[in-house]
Amino acid sequence: MQPEEFRAAGHALIDWIADHRLAADQRPVLADVNPGEVRGSFPTTAPDSPVAFDELLQQLEQRVVPGLTEVQHPMHFGWFPANASLASVLGDITSSGLGNLGISWESSPALTEVEEVVCDWMRQLVGLTDAWKGTIHDTASTACVVALLVARERATALAQNQGGLQAVDAPLVVYTTSEAHSSVAKAALLAGYGWDNIQSVDIDPVTRAMVPESLAAAIEADVAAGRTPAAVVASVGTTGTTAFDPVDAIAEVIEASGRSIWLHVDAAMAGTAMLLPECRHLWQGAERSDSITWNPHKWMGTILDCSLFYVRNTGELESVMSTNPSYLQSTADGEVTQYRDWGIPLGRRFRALKLWFHLELDGIEAIRTRIRRDLDNTAWLAGEIEKVDDWTIVSPVPLQTICVRHMPDGLSGDELDEHTLRWVRNINESGAAYLTPARIDVPGLDGSWTVRISVGVENTERRHLEALWDLMRTTATSALS
Ligand SMILES: *Cc1c(COP(=O)(O)O)cnc(C)c1O
């Protein structure tokens, strides 16, 4: 395709995307297709002659759109928000359009230096000191792998440079809780720690946050048994209920242990809240950790993939991640950042552009206003739910996620769980809204299936929450009959 053809097709595509976004709330929230249906709408072999762009747009409409779950729909309350601000979309398109290659500073100096700039802007916007240096990863999952690899090497005095993990005698232990995101255990497994060495520290039954005294006891017991505590992953805003592990107290425990245990703060979702000074008490102590990750690609709304990863000691990262082959060495080494030495991939996209566009075009104050709106709307809905007897909020609501059950008289145990799954399925299958069921066991509360209402889609206003609350009550009541 030549630039002039691209120009015409590109204009048509932008129109198509704008129309798609405008009509997002006209489509069912959850894709209404059966497994294999999208795949089956495609020929089994690649096309052997090119089609016109109009024809491709038609195919997009016919084959792909029916298989899209509309996470930008204002009635989407599932998982966590995956906002994709159109300002950031323009930055993402720019990155693609420039077709740059980030394998070294030389391969695109601007790619590296804009990333340095936006990471530093974002650091300031969440109130971290200038002790931190950041980079952009694809996801928080990758960032956690990186953190646990560096933790592993710190705990073994760079064993990778000799026999690696295979020559280490004492098992290395990672501490987290049952509430940590599944990517934490996955990262620990990939980094070679092994299931047996992932310690699930006790949680407070009400707040579902890590109990620091239990962490201290676990570390002590492991040391006594000849194991090496290597890392703690603290969740700042867990995926189930947005619980906040007490980072300051955890840092205190690590300090008191006298060991240089790596503390990784996983704030993938809640990092966005730290844009608001009034929320920062929720991650108090983050400054004392070794690494922090959070995803602008969730609630803040910089289109996926955009996960910020901050460390205080970049030298430690480089000692683990740097390979520096001869064909990448240059005279600028030592003066510039080589982001390949801060993470796993060699080739990097120009991700900083979407964050830069987002900040310039939407503006941080509008973003903060939207986050405050979502917190207000969540508090309003939680208040309404609390007023009604047969509805229960099962855990504290520090942020924008409410975990609820409809608990009518006479239902308990498996029947209660079946009822919960029935009403949420009825809502989801109707296409009118989407909510995520999750198992959350609360001591003293019957049943374990719970429904998560995760507020925060860019276009979700109070009226959408009002509509959701009506829908929940009517659907749950009719699910009884
Ligand atoms: C969403 C989430 C993750 C995973 O994020 P990805 O960027 O999709 O890997 C990890 N931890 C927490 C707490 C999350 O909310």
Q: What is the pLDDT of residues 138-190, one digit of tens each?
A: 999 999 999 999 999 999 999 999 999 999 999 999 999 999 999 999 999 99
Per-residue confidence (pLDDT) for residue 334, from 0 to 100: 79
DSSP state of 61: I
Shortest-distance Cα residue to atom 14 of ligand 1: 268
Per-residue confidence (pLDDT) for residue 444, from 0 to 100: 85
Lowest mean pLDDT among 11-25, 172-186, 319-333, 349-363: 319-333
- 290: CA distance to ligand 1 center in Å? 18
Is it the case that residue 446 has pLDDT exceeding 90? no
Q: In b/e form, how buried is each residue of 248-276, taking b as 16+ CB within 10 angstroms?
A: bbbbbbbeeeeeebbbbbbbbbbbbbbbb
Rounding to the nearest 10 degrees, give the CA dihedral for residues 339, 343, 348, 354.
-80
Per-residue model confidence as pLDDT tens digits over 45-94: 999 999 999 999 999 999 999 999 999 999 999 999 999 999 999 999 99
- As given in the structure block, the two tokens for residue 16 are 């198509």
Closest CA to 453 of 407, 405, 417: 405
| Residue bearing tokens 């936006």 | 118
Shortest-distance Cα residue to atom 2 of ligand 1: 268
- Residues 6 or more apart in contact with residue 227 via CB below 8 angstroms: 170, 171, 172, 173, 197
- Supply the Cα-derived Rg of the chain in whole angstroms: 24
Confirm or reject: Cβ of 80 under 6 Å from ligand 1. Answer: yes
Indicate the fold that domain 370-478 takes in CATH.
Aspartate Aminotransferase, domain 1 (3.90.1150)
Q: Which atom, in ligand 1's list, is nearest to the CA of 238?
A: 13
Shortest-distance Cα residue to atom 12 of ligand 1: 268
- 238: CA distance to ligand 1 center in Å? 9
- 318: CA distance to ligand 1 center in Å? 24
Q: What percent of the chain has pLDDT over 70?
A: 99
List phi, psi (to 5°) of 174.
-115, 135
Give one word for 157, left, alpha or beta, with left for phi > 0 and alpha for psi -120 to 50.
left
Per-residue confidence (pLDDT) for residue 330, from 0 to 100: 73
CATH ID of 94-362, from 3.40.50.360, 3.40.50.720, 3.40.640.10, 3.40.50.2300: 3.40.640.10
Per-residue confidence (pLDDT) for residue 85, from 0 to 100: 98
Confirm or reject: Cβ of 235 under 6 Å from ligand 1. Answer: yes
Mean pLDDT of the chain: 96
Out of 266, 282, 297, mutate this one to test ligand 1's pocket (max ligand atoms within 8 Å of CB): namely 266
Is it the case that residue 327 has pLDDT exceeding 80? no
Per-residue confidence (pLDDT) for residue 18, from 0 to 100: 97
Q: Tell whether domain 3-68 is in CATH 1.20.990.10.
A: no
Per-residue model confidence as pLDDT tens digits over 68-80: 999 999 999 999 9
- Rounded Cα distance between 20 and 16, Å, is 6
Specify whether the CB–CB gap between 403 and 440 falls below 8 A. yes
Q: Which atom, in ligand 1's list, is nearest to the CA of 139?
A: 7
Same topology between domain 3-68 and domain 370-478: no
- Rounded Cα distance between 469 and 478, Å, is 14
Per-residue model confidence as pLDDT tens digits over 193-222: 999 999 999 999 999 999 999 999 999 999
Closest CA to 21 of 80, 88, 77: 88
3-class SS at 453? Answer: strand
Specify whether the CB–CB gap between 69 and 29 falls below 8 A. yes
Per-residue model confidence as pLDDT tens digits over 90-112: 999 999 999 999 999 999 999 99
Q: Is the bond into 390 cis (omega within 30 degrees of 0)? A: no
Confirm or reject: Cβ of 239 under 6 Å from ligand 1. Answer: yes
- 76-77/391-393 β-pairing: unpaired
Q: Where in the chain are the domains? A: 3-68, 94-362, 370-478
For the chain, count helices (H), then strands (E): 14, 12
Confirm or reject: Cβ of 295 under 6 Å from ligand 1. Answer: yes
Is it the case that residue 29 has pLDDT exceeding 90? yes
Confirm or reject: Cβ of 139 under 6 Å from ligand 1. Answer: yes
Is it the case that residue 287 has pLDDT exceeding 90? yes
- Residues 6 or more apart in contact with residue 50 via CB below 8 angstroms: none
Lateral strand order in the sheet of 133-137: 133-137, 307-311, 291-294, 262-266, 228-235, 172-177, 198-201
Specify whether the CB–CB gap between 435 and 29 falls below 8 A. no
Per-residue confidence (pLDDT) for residue 218, from 0 to 100: 98
Confirm or reject: Cβ of 85 under 6 Å from ligand 1. Answer: no
Is it the case that residue 426 has pLDDT exceeding 80? yes
Confirm or reject: Cβ of 266 under 6 Å from ligand 1. Answer: yes
- As given in the structure block, the two tokens for residue 75 are 């009635």
pTM for the full predicted model = 0.96
Any bridge partners for residue 451, and if so which?
404, 437
Confidence of residue 445 (pLDDT cuts 50, 70, 90): confident
Confirm or reject: Cβ of 183 under 6 Å from ligand 1. Answer: yes
